[in-house]
Structure 1
Amino acid sequence: MASAFIIGGTGQIGIGVAKRLAREGWTVRLASRTPPPLEGLWRHVPFDHREPGALATAIGHGADLLMDCIAFDEPDADKLLSVEASVGHIIAVSSASVYRDEHGRTLDEASQCGFPCFPVPIGENQPTVEPGPKTYSTRKVAMEKRLLDHAQGRATILRPAAIHGPYSKHAREWWFVRRLLDGRQRIPLAYGGRSRFQTTSVAAIAEAVVWAVEEGEPSILNVADADAPTAAEIGKAIMATMDRYADIVGLSDEPYPPSAGMSPWSVECPVVCSSLAPNAGTYKETVPDAVLWLIEATRNRDWRSVLPQLAAYPWEQFDYEREDNLLSALSRSA
């Protein structure tokens, strides 16, 4: 029986992968500081990756698959490499944010340098930022490079985009879900609702993991849904799941930058990824799990405590007064 050891295994990605592997008969251990949010066919291993030697102790005699959902920089890659002799395949989760456009612009520095204009779609051979300690993405690239350059056995890097699924602390779908729960009848969207920011379900990540283990190549995989829906299409998919509906009002591209309608997928230029790995379906087919979990997880709770990463966005996401004033002005000028 194949075995998997998943670092950060009790989070959004880890749980999604664990469910898939357990269904296929794998023995799964989830390593993290906190216990899993639900019971399943896996075992929890208390683990703090910041402690020296903690990984070797926790993994014990090893595993066929060592997956790290939280690998961030070179020291994290070194920890994985330190136990390489006892594992069959290492998979580390990176991010599609590592890519740069032909002018060197990146998602990390879009507010300072301008939004990147990528080819559509972005393939795994798109140039990346240089490795280093400067930004989230440069650290991710440093992690990737260290792991792939020094691994003696099989190693794979996964680059998902806007991840969706249950148990997220950064569930972008809340932007629409809360508006619908609050009974909003009109929802404005910047850039006419045409923005496309590639979505990635946790089911697609699990599919990519299984495929990578079976195939072994290539060493870098984008992970994406079968489609790249617009922000307006994302809203409609969420509405269909909830059976609640509102009118989506596409706003003009002027003035810039937009003062309203900035959903988590609202971007100036499209970010669309292709992938060599199989997917798990379209966004509309895979998003219901995230939406239904969100509704239940936020019931009678402050959403900020459930979604702290989303709450940390540097702008107010639910400024209904601003939205109403804007929509009223649009109606008067029509």
Structure 2
Amino acid sequence: MQKRAFVLGASGQVGAAVVNTLVEYGWQVTAGGRRLREWTDGVRGVQVDRNDDASLTTALGDGHDVFVDCVAYTEQHGRQLAGLTDRVGSAVVLSSFSVYADGNGHTLDESTGLDDFPSMPVPIPESQQTVPPGPDTYSTRKVALENVLLNSSLPVTVLRPGAIAGPGSVLPREWYFVRRALDRRPVQILGYRGASLFHTTTTANLAELVRLAAERPGSRVLNAGDPDPLTVRQIATAINDMLEHRPEEVLLPDLGPDGIGETPWSVPRPYRLDLTAAERLLGYRPVTGYQAALPALVDWLVAAAGRQDWQMAFPRFARVYGSSAFNYAAEDAWLAARSGRHPGR
């Protein structure tokens, strides 16, 4: 009998990848989201408000083998999902690698620089301590969510992805280098000598892990990431090569004034996930690498930005990184004061 999956948040970048992967492997999928969209054969789209229990219950109908939650963020969401044991056989829920804390309690959410940036083992295992649960930050809310689910009677796989990358992203970190390449920015300034490593997770690999967890129900926490993640310098080089851009490179030992040299992946210490548990428990084998997946993402970014102002195309990027991501005047002034010449001359 064909297995049935319900994917909540199906209209987002991760949800869409999950839907397509499950269908490819023979699942019958119900795609739930705040807005309806057209799907391929084998997918039933439903409009659902996850903050309305009745709406979710109606959308679930007579039940599904697995519930995939791509938009769970709070303890309340966890309680809502834990209460669906009569309608779903198991669940796969997305958390985040930001939940980890070091031995001094330092976390990604609260870090302001080198002094309080978490000093993690490399790579980070799932056994690493986390922030305490609570309502204060994105990560404490995620831990509260995790705790409710892992203490429920519902078999739940909690996945902790890194910096998610893929077409359709609302926060496409890659736009930082794509726009600079399109602008033919003559200088590329990278803090921490471009050696920052902030583990990426392509949507294709995350969807594959969801599929494997759906096929092997259980209660566990697993890291989710790409094989051999790239450094910031390697990401910049890969994107520049695709767009035939050759900027002059300036590598700084840390960051310049006002964050000059900071990118969306810039961290003073490596933040890399241990993937061996996913390999051992689920037989996880990545379906792609970050660099192999980059061309499709770069093509999407160029096309999306070409249709409208980039701040409209990527509003969350604009909110998170703001104009500072492309403050060329400040960079030029700093470079001129540092070298006595205008950059690019």
Is TM (by shorter chain) over 0.5? yes
Asked if 1:270 is matched to 2:278, the reply is no
For residues 50 and 167 of structure 2, what CA distance do their matches in structure 1 show? Answer: 23
| Counterpart residue number, 1:305 | 312
| Counterpart residue number, 2:327 | 319
Distance 1:174 1:193, change over 3 A: same
Structure 2: which amino acid aligns with 1:249?
A: V
Q: Please, which runs of 5 or more residues in structure 2 have no aligned partner?
A: 279-283
**How far off its partner does 1:254 sit?**
5.9
**How far off its partner does 1:45 sit?**
0.5
**How far off its partner does 1:330 sit?**
4.4
Asked if 1:56 is matched to 2:64, the reply is no
For residues 280 and 218 of structure 1, what CA distance do their matches in structure 2 show? Answer: 24
Asked if 1:288 is matched to 2:295, the reply is yes
For residues 144 and 259 of structure 1, what CA distance do their matches in structure 2 show? Answer: 34
| Counterpart residue number, 2:108 | 107
For residues 90 and 255 of structure 2, what CA distance do their matches in structure 1 show? Answer: 50
Aligned residues: 331
For residues 227 and 327 of structure 1, what CA distance do their matches in structure 2 show? Answer: 33
Superposed, 1:141-290 pairs within 5 Å as: 141-150=143-152, 152-217=153-218, 219-253=220-254, 259-275=259-275, 276-277=277-278, 278=284, 279-290=286-297
For residues 165 and 254 of structure 1, what CA distance do their matches in structure 2 show? Answer: 28
Q: Is the 8 A contact 1:232 1:248 kept in 2?
A: no
For residues 59 and 260 of structure 1, what CA distance do their matches in structure 2 show? Answer: 49
**How far off its partner does 1:18 sit?**
1.0
Candidates 135, 139, 145, aligned match of 1:137: 139
| Structure 2 counterpart SS, 1:30 | strand
For residues 218 and 74 of structure 1, what CA distance do their matches in structure 2 show? Answer: 17
Structure 2: which amino acid aligns with 1:138?
A: T
For residues 292 and 5 of structure 1, what CA distance do their matches in structure 2 show? Answer: 30
Q: Please, which runs of 5 or more residues in structure 1 have no aligned partner?
A: none
Deviates more, 1:220-229 or 1:242-251: 242-251
**How far off its partner does 1:66 sit?**
0.4
Q: Is the 8 A contact 2:255 2:261 kept in 1?
A: no
Distance 1:217 1:226, change over 3 A: farther
**How far off its partner does 1:91 sit?**
0.7
For residues 111 and 20 of structure 1, what CA distance do their matches in structure 2 show? Answer: 38
Superposed, 1:60-75 pairs within 5 Å as: 60-75=61-76
Distance 1:40 1:242, change over 3 A: farther
Structure 1: which amino acid aligns with 2:185?
A: R
TM-score by length of 1: 0.93
| Counterpart residue number, 2:281 | none
**How far off its partner does 1:217 sit?**
4.7
Q: Is the 8 A contact 1:6 1:69 kept in 2?
A: yes
Q: How high is the sequence identity, in percent, across the aligned residues?
A: 40
For residues 218 and 47 of structure 1, what CA distance do their matches in structure 2 show? Answer: 26
TM-score by length of 2: 0.90
| Counterpart residue number, 1:96 | 97
| Counterpart residue number, 2:121 | 119
**How far off its partner does 1:52 sit?**
3.2
Q: Is the 8 A contact 2:65 2:88 kept in 1?
A: yes
| Structure 2 counterpart SS, 1:66 | strand
Structure 2: which amino acid aligns with 1:293?
A: W
For residues 74 and 218 of structure 1, what CA distance do their matches in structure 2 show? Answer: 17
| Structure 1 counterpart SS, 2:320 | coil
**How far off its partner does 1:165 sit?**
0.3
Q: Is the 8 A contact 1:4 1:66 kept in 2?
A: yes
Distance 1:286 1:254, change over 3 A: closer
